[in-house]
Homo-oligomer: A and B are copies of this chain.
Amino acid sequence: MTQLEYARKGRLTQAMRKVAADEGVDPDSLLALIASGKVVIPFNPRHISSDSGGEGRRTSRGAGGSPARGSRRGGEDRQPLGGPQRPVGIGFSLRTKVNVNIGTSADFPRLEDELKKVAVSLKYSADTIMDLSTGGDLRKIRRRILRRSPIPLGTVPVYQAAIEAIDSRRSIVKMTADDLFATIEAQAQEGVDFMTVHCGLTQKAISRLRNQGRVADIVSRGGAFHLAWMLYHDKENPLYANYDRLLDIARRYDITLSLGDGLRPGSILDATDRPQVEELLTLGELVKRAWEAGVQVMVEGPGHIPLDQIEMNVKLQKRVCNEAPFYVLGPLVTDIAPGYDHLVSAIGGAIAAAAGADFLCYVTPAEHLGLPTVDDVREGLIASRIAAHAADIVKGVKGALERDLKVSRARKKLDWGAQQKLVIDPHKFEEIRKRRRSRTKACSMCGEYCAMRIVSKFLDSHGKADDFCF
């Protein structure tokens, strides 16, 4: 059974208990949110990581194609024991989550680099990782990343299916629907927890794209693969035409579907246009069918969006998709700042999450320029985490504002040690402090003229400070 099916039967799974404990929320309330589809827990029981010495567990239970022990036995205490060791809940009322995209490319196919990106993602508290590899031995890379990742792992299966068709038959258009579904099932068997599937990119949507005209057409790689295939064959998108087949795989392995937005705008001038909204309407219908099939589902969203259209986009998705969790890329609020698109996305992401988006896909400083380095991954992740936290404060997420209170109190006391423990990046904090040290107890910006110090002295004593100096 999927987490959604367990929830509908009122059965609390271990994954639900862990998520409830992590979020500090009542398990029964969480169960109700999962049952309603407003929250998903991407949790493939076949995902076995070696995070806490589980290499042995992997050998006995993982990646072999046979069902994980204990799955589908039912009963409150008999749910599968596999799955990501640190499951996360994504959706309404929970902490805004952050995904990190990693993966090789043809130009940079080294597995070792990607494993370093996994490590830095975990160090800076990513909630999920997506492996978007397109270079090297895709299967091997994915399996290694899976084993290193105690958090949910996502993929975009059409990448592998398309690249294998190109490698073996010289073109994406030689990919068959069976190839695509076989890849999806193989990845499910390996333990992938959630998958981006571009089911809403239909012929109708392409015709609306032609009718509208766009500055940047399609910038989604998966969307581009589908479009090429559909135009060449003059056929409907196989993921749309055979959606029930997809749902069947997703239900059997409890893959959380992330309905991709192949038509997300790639320039702010294309934002919220008719093809984008056409695709969203289809995704709303597919959400409903996923729920009917007992499959967990979330919806992906833009993209490049001007600042004043972000809240509207979130509200539109929530309404049209019946409150399914919303997973946004960025949004990027301008196109003119490559090199700083992590920051551009932090602006958009904070606004989106505050408006109700549940899940932010990070963007790195290398976006639009090249495959990110390990440092780029760290910078991108921290930027998105700041955006998510800024939103969680105003969403009223448990514990968010309390953290700001603690930092502010430590700051007021000039307690640098306490601050360092509480801030989002203690390493950066220490590095800047060391580089710009003050001879005073305050910082080197103000030194003896520190406002905190002056005000404590005079406000507390009603002006009768014990001496004139400071």
Using a CB–CB cutoff of 8 Å, the interface residues on chain A facing chain B are 105-108, 134-135, 159, 162-163, 166, 169-174, 209-210, 215-221, 223-225, 227-228, 230-234, 266-269, 306-308, 333-340, 343-344, 346-347, 350-351, 354, 365-373, 382-383, 386-387, 389-391, 393-394, 401, 403-405, 407-409, 411-412, 419, 422-425, 428-429, 431-433, 435-440, 443-452, 454-459, 462-465, 467-470
**Are A454 and B224 touching (Cβ within 8 A)?**
yes
**Are A433 and B370 touching (Cβ within 8 A)?**
yes
How many copies of the chain does the oligomer comprise?
A: 2
A425 partner residues in chain B, CB cutoff 8 A: 337, 339-340
> Could you say which of B221, B234, B405, B458 contacts A227, with CB atoms under 8 Å apart?
B458
**Are A370 and B217 touching (Cβ within 8 A)?**
no
The distance in angstroms between the C-alpha atoms of A46 and B309, with both chains bound, is: 45
Contacts A228-B454, A336-B404, A347-B350 supplied; 10 other A-B pairs, CB < 8 Å: A108-B444, A166-B469, A174-B468, A217-B459, A227-B458, A267-B412, A306-B390, A307-B391, A339-B423, A365-B432
**Are A371 and B445 touching (Cβ within 8 A)?**
yes
Could you show 28 A-B contacts with beta carbons less than 8 Å apart?
A107-B437, A107-B438, A107-B440, A162-B449, A170-B469, A173-B468, A174-B468, A217-B455, A219-B452, A221-B449, A221-B450, A227-B458, A231-B459, A267-B408, A269-B401, A306-B390, A306-B393, A335-B407, A335-B408, A335-B411, A339-B423, A339-B424, A343-B343, A346-B347, A347-B351, A369-B432, A369-B433, A371-B444
The distance in angstroms between the C-alpha atoms of A354 and B28, with both chains bound, is: 41
**Are A405 and B174 touching (Cβ within 8 A)?**
no
The distance in angstroms between the C-alpha atoms of A299 and B101, with both chains bound, is: 43
